[in-house]
Structure 1
Amino acid sequence: MPGYADDIALAHLLADAADAVSTARFRALDLRVEAKPDLTPVSDADTAVEREIRALLAAHRPGDGLLGEEYGEEPASGPDGRRWVVDPIDGTKNFIRGVPVWATLIALLESDRPVAGLVSAPALGRRWWGALGEGAYAGPDAAGGAPIRVSAVRDLADASICYSSLTGWESTGRLDAMLQLMRDTWRSRAYGDFYGYMLLAEGALDVMVEPELSLWDVAALVPIVTEAGGTFTDLAGRPAPSGDAGTENSAVASNGALHADILSRLGQPTEH
C-alpha cells in the first residue's frame, strides 16, 4: 500500500493502544457512565481511549488535525490540512451493557475527503481497514488481513439489508418507506453502528442505511466500503460524509448494484 501505507500502519498502532484501554474496561464493575449534553451516554472508556489516541497522534503526526467525538477539534498546523477523525468507542450503548459489538473508528481525511479508515472491534477479534486506491482488508490484525469484497446481489428481492433503529427513520419522515423496503427484501436485520457497514464490505449483506450520523460515526467506514467495491452516499445521493463536524450526515451504503433502487425508495421524506 504505497500511497497510504504509513497512515494505515499508524492507524493500526492507534488501534492497538485503543484496544488495550477499551478491553480492560469492557464489563468492568466500576465502569463510570455519564450523560452528555445531548443525553447520549459516555463512559470512562470512551474518554480514556480518545486521550490515548490524541497523545499518540501528537507524537507521530504533530502537524495533522484531529477531530474526536469526546474532546472536539484541533486544527491542522501542517500545510496539507490532513485531519484524523476518531470515534473512540462506536456503540457505547452496547459497550456499557456488555454487548460485544463496539469498535474504535479511525479515519484520515484530506481536503475533507476520507482517504483511509480503520475499524477495530477487539471484543469480536476483528479489524477492517482500507485506503483510497489500495483495497480493503479484514482480519484479526495487520499481519492477518485478507482482501474483502462486496456481494454481487442485483435484485432487491434477494438482498439482505441492515438499518439503524426505526425511531430515526420515523423522525426524518421515512418510516413508511423503510418498512416497505424491509418487506421487499429477502432479509432485514438491525445490527447497528459500524457493524452493518463492515458486513456489507465483506459481502455478508448487501445494503446498510442510516438517516442520522455524525462525521466521526461514518468517516472511517467510507474508504473500507468503497475500496471493497461498494457505493457510499447520503440519502440525497451525494458523496458522504460532509467534512463539517457540525453537519448531520445520513448514509446509504450498498454493493453498488442496488444503490439506485435504495435511493429511489428512501431519498425523499413521505410523511408529514
Structure 2
Amino acid sequence: MRAEAITDVQTKSTTTDVVTAADRAVERQVIDSLRSARPGDTVLGEEYGEAAAPGPGAVRWILDPIDGTVNYLYGLPQYAVSLAAEVDGVVRAGVVINAATGDEWTATLGGGAWRDGRRLRCSERTELAQSLVGTGFGYDAKRRAHQGAVLAQLITQVRDIRRFGAAALDLCAVGEGLLDAYFEKGLNPWDHAAGGLIAAEAGAIVAGLAGAPPGLDMVVAAPSAVFTPLHDLLVELDAAGGA
C-alpha cells in the first residue's frame, strides 16, 4: 500500500518525524493477528502504545510496524517490521524483516541469530580505528546538534561512519558483520528489542553506557574487542548528553 500510504502522512514529535497510514495499518494488522493467536498476551506498539501492563510470566510483544519511515516515504529500500517477544523484561525472541527486500533476521535467547538458514556471527574486528560504525540521529534539532558534535570528534577515530536510517536493520547489520559497531541515543524499545537480540545472539555486546541496559540514553552494539574502546570514547564525548 506504499503508493496510497505516502499520500496520508502526518507528523509526531517534530515536523521531520513522520508517520504514514501504513505505519498504523501494519500495527493494527499485527496486533489483530497476535490477539487472535495469543489472546492473553499484550502488545507494546510504536503507534498505538500498550493496551495493558503484562503480568508476571506473560508475553509482551514489542512492535515497530515500520522502522525507517522516512526511508519508506522516499522509497529508499531500508525499512523494516520489527517484532520481539519479551517475558518479565527479557527479550526471548525477535524477528526483523526488511519489507522492501524480503530479507529476514531471527533470533531466540540462547538459540543464536539466523538469516536464511545461516547462523550469524558478528564482526571479528579488534581495533576501533579499523571499524565501520553505524549510527542514527534524533528528530529534535537540539539533539541533532549534539549528536553532530559527537560525530565530528568520533569520525576521525574510526574507519568510517554509516547512517542507514533504520535502527533495527542497523543492529541486524552488526549481527551479520556488515557493520563492525553501532551506537545511537534516543531509541525506544520497539527500535532495538528484536534487533538487539539478533546482534547479541550473533556475539555482539549490546548495552548502554556505564553499565546501564540499552535504552533511551544510549544503545551500543559491537564485538567485545571494539565495544570497550567505543564505549569509553562515547562516555568521553558525552554522547548520551544533550537534549
The TM-score bracket by the shorter chain reads: 0.7 to 0.9
1:138-161: CA deviation from partner (whole Å, max 9, x where unpaired): 13xxxxx31111011001121111
User: By how many angstroms is 1:38 displaced?
Assistant: 5.1
- Give percent identity, aligned residues only: 33
Q: Which residue matches 2:128? A: 156
- What letter is aligned with 1:264? D
- Matched-pair contact (CA < 8 Å) for 2:110–2:201: yes
SS of the equivalent of 1:46 reads helix
Normalization by structure 1: what TM-score?
0.79
Superposed, which structure 2 residues align to 1:1-272 within 5 Å?
A: 25-28=1-4, 31-36=7-12, 39=15, 40-75=17-52, 80-139=57-116, 145-165=117-137, 171=143, 173=146, 175-193=148-166, 194-241=168-215, 248-268=216-236, 269=238
Structure 2: tracts of 5 or more residues without a match: none
1:27 and 1:96 in contact (8 A); partners too: no
1:137 and 1:146 in contact (8 A); partners too:
yes
List per-residue Cα deviations over 1:185-214 (Å, max 9, x = no partner): 122211222222111110112111101111
- Determine the C-alpha separation between the residues in 2 that align with 1:37 and 1:147: 38
Deviation at 1:181, TM superposition (A): 2.0
Q: Which amino acid aligns with 1:230?
A: A
Q: Give 1:29 deviation, angstroms.
A: 7.5
Q: Closer, same or farther in 2 for the Cα pair 1:158/1:56, shift >3 Å?
A: same
Task: Tell me the residue number matched to 1:245.
Answer: none
Contact in 1 for aligned 2:205/2:227 (Cα 8 Å): yes
* Deviation (angstroms), 1:30: 6.4
Q: Quote the offset at 1:113 in angstroms.
A: 1.7
Aligned residues of 1:81 and 1:111 also touching (Cα < 8 A): yes
SS of corresponding position for 1:54: helix
Asked if the contact 2:56–2:88 (Cα under 8 Å) also holds between the matched residues in 1, the reply is no
- 1:115–1:132 Cα contact (<8 Å) kept: yes
Shift of 1:82: 1.7
Deviation for aligned residue 1:115: 1.7
Q: Aligned partners of 1:217, 1:64: CA distance in 2, in Å?
A: 20
| 2: CA distance, partners of 1:62 / 1:120 | 24
- Give the 3 Å change call, closer, same or farther, for CA 51–182 of structure 1 in structure 2: same
Contact kept, 8 Å, 2:113 with 2:119, in 1: the verdict is yes
Q: 1:166, 1:175 within 8 Å by CA — same for their partners in 2? A: no
State the 1:79 CA deviation.
Answer: 5.3
The 3 A distance-change label for structure 1 pair 77 and 260 is closer
Change (3 A) 1:190 1:45: same
Contact 1:50/1:86, CA 8 A, preserved across alignment: yes
Could you tell me which amino acid in structure 2 is paired with residue 46 of structure 1? D
The residue identity in structure 1 corresponding to 2:7 is L
How many correspondences in the alignment? 237
